[in-house]
Structure 1
Amino acid sequence: MWSRMAGRPRLRDLVVCLAFLALGLVLYAADLTVIGGNSGSPFDMPRWLALITLAAACAVQSMRSTEPGLSFALCLVVVGVDVALAQSISVWLVLSDVAYAVALYAGRRTVHVMYATVGAITVLAVASVLAVDGSWRSVLLILLWLLALVISPIGYGRAIAEHRLAAQSERERSLAVAQLAARDRADAVADERRRLARDLHDIVAGHLSGIALQSAAALRAGPGSPITAEVLASVRSNSVEALGEMRTMIEVLGGVDAETGTDGEQEQSRRTASLRRLDRLVTTARTAGSPVTITGSAPPALPPSVDVCAYRIVAEALTNAARHAPAQPISVSLDATGTDLAVTVRNPLTGGDHPADTGRPSHGLVNMALRAESVGGRCSGGPQGDWWVVDASLPLRSDGTPVDHTPGVDAPGVSR
């Protein structure tokens, strides 16, 4: 019930002031209204005046949380009148609650004004007592009275207010952390989608481009040519390998090797994508009519991530070369000196289209660059004189692990 009223300040204040009014009536009925007993007021006023000041104080108290500053000011006026006419305990109890409400609900400026007002009243009360009887015992009683009924409620209200501010700050901080976590999850999902898009591009586009080039070579050779059988065999091999790589990716996405993490994914990809199987790419390009020469070799203990990355770069470069420079010689160079694996693929420019002519990046070039970045390396492609050159450098540590990196951001474009 109280929790429901907490969301309705006026109803809550009304309940509080009625409770204090009932307490004052009980004190009046028990003849405990006057401060110091039944000595009465110094002006010999009727005892029932305490009920009037109590009702006025409770009426002012009804604004304790909606208008705390005004409520405190009016309550001080009522207390001043009560001190002169009735000297009732119940009015001071109402002032105690109003001071607590100001400390809890009012702004800092209003609270500071209350501090100054209470300090001035304390000084004035002490000076008045000293001027009247000069008794330090009376001064001590006044200070204890103000401490119990005014200063302590103010301190208690400020403590609760500070606790509420701290709780609100913690809630806001928790919300900010949750938003950052949600943003990180969204970024991670976007990065994973880009990675999967690159993998699908390398698997589907690479193999389908190879099949298209080989089919065109078979059509040019004619059905009776001995080249046709070789081309069809290569087309079938490419199709089977594409299905195998797609199956591997589906198994990884389906959680077959969920416990193995990133290394497990690299090992899965390495089953069909490794420099040890570079001959498949060479066969595909040759059957499409492009002679390929390979110089150098990769080290035997190549890390899986670098192995898969280098294979994908060579596959994309060979596919692009066979498409844009058909029947032209292609050279592939592998150099594993020092701590870098250098991969270079060259083919002559034949005057046909290439990404430099379109004025926008291609998926193939962007994917090769991002794959190199994923292992801490670099990859670039472009014309150099009469040649189109794809140059990649994949750095390795002495222990064979890839250098730390920050992955790049994918970019749209057309495939070369």
Structure 2
Amino acid sequence: MDESTPPAGTGHAGTAPPPAATPPLRRLGAAFMGMAVRRLGNTKVEDVALAVGYFLLFWLLDAVNFAAFGNLKVEALASAWPAIALLGCVGVVFRRTAPAAMAWMCGLAAVGLLLAGHAGCFVLMFEFFFSLVLFGSPRAAALASRAAWVVTAVLVVAAFASFRDAGLTVVAGLLGVITFLTPVEWAGNLRKAILLAESESARADAVHEAAAQRLLAERNAHDLSLEQERQHMARELHDVISARLSAIALQSGAALHAAKAAPAGSPGTALLRQIRQESVAGLEELNAMIRLLHSGAASEAPGRIAELEPLVGRHRSAGLELSFSNGMPDGGRHLPLPVQTTVYRVAAESLANAARHAPGQPVAVSLAAVRKDEAGTPQQQPATPAQSQDRTPSPPPAMELVLTVSSELPAHQPAASPGTGTGIPSMQFRAAHAGGTLTAGPESGQWKVLLRLPLPGPAPQAPAGTVNTNEGLHA
């Protein structure tokens, strides 16, 4: 043999020899090795029950001697049909988790039962095509569908060529339709229904996600609109109201400077000084509101219980007949800032309403800490001395802060004031935000505003005296 001629089967230099054909048993082993252990854990109980049912059916067919094609029977395999049937039933268990292994096992078992003369081969052929079309890959399902038509046609042609009998040919056709085409059509419809359901589920998820994104976009647009509105309000407040308050503060300061020659305690000088103080305080609060609108971050609102007396003094300077008493321990300075701010804002709004709606009428403001049962909750009956000895000490009574602002109702209804109608709702909102309640309305010839706020913890001991600023009332 010429040395230049390569030996048979070696191929050309630099190229790998073609792979040898994989035998069926090796393919079956590869299919088994390809099954992941965690996928085997997903085996359905109904698949195991179906496999057991198939094996019992095979046993019943053998018991009634229901045989397959007798001329194909191999005696060596006839006695081994239980082992062959067991192989096919194990393949049924793996039909969801490993369709390729199922195809090999059920296919080999069906051929083995056919050669053993057992009618169970038709059952395994039915399961082979059904499971492969339903659970196999799209390519495997398509191949199984085409193979079913081919096998049916071959079976009909073979029956006619072998027996030359129309009746047997029809029986062979019916057998092929029932064994091969029916499971393919049935499984194909189920597969389409499953794919359609998955598609609809994915579509519903996409629609839900799109709706969520649209809602998020709408919220972002709403937040942006609110931010733009806040910026616009801040600019308007700064350019209009702030400018006017600044002008009032400057003009009142200039008037005070021009009135240096007047006595320090004259009514005109005191009134100008009061106007300047109010305008400067209002300008500071307005600037705080402008900063709040610009940044969107909450800031500490001014207003404390200690500022109630200066507030009362300013209203008295304006000619309001006003009495004020503060019965809070430590004057209420120990209370949390939100509680103090609520008390101050409600008192300020109530005094402003009294001056606007009942001018010239006396106004009384009182602040006290009372027990809740004194505020309307029924008190318990006192215990006897014997009961007192047996009972454990009761917890300290719950206390609440009560602010009362009352004014005489005018005999004649004054002319309509330019109010906005938001004073009482605003006070009620502040009270509810602080955990309390607020009522406002006529009562016994008076207009009474009553604020109740819970006090945190046990109430401290009241001081020896109560602050009372009733003296110095102005007519």
TM-score w.r.t. the length of structure 1 is 0.47
More helix by share: 1
Normalised TM-score (structure 2): 0.42
Larger Rg: 2
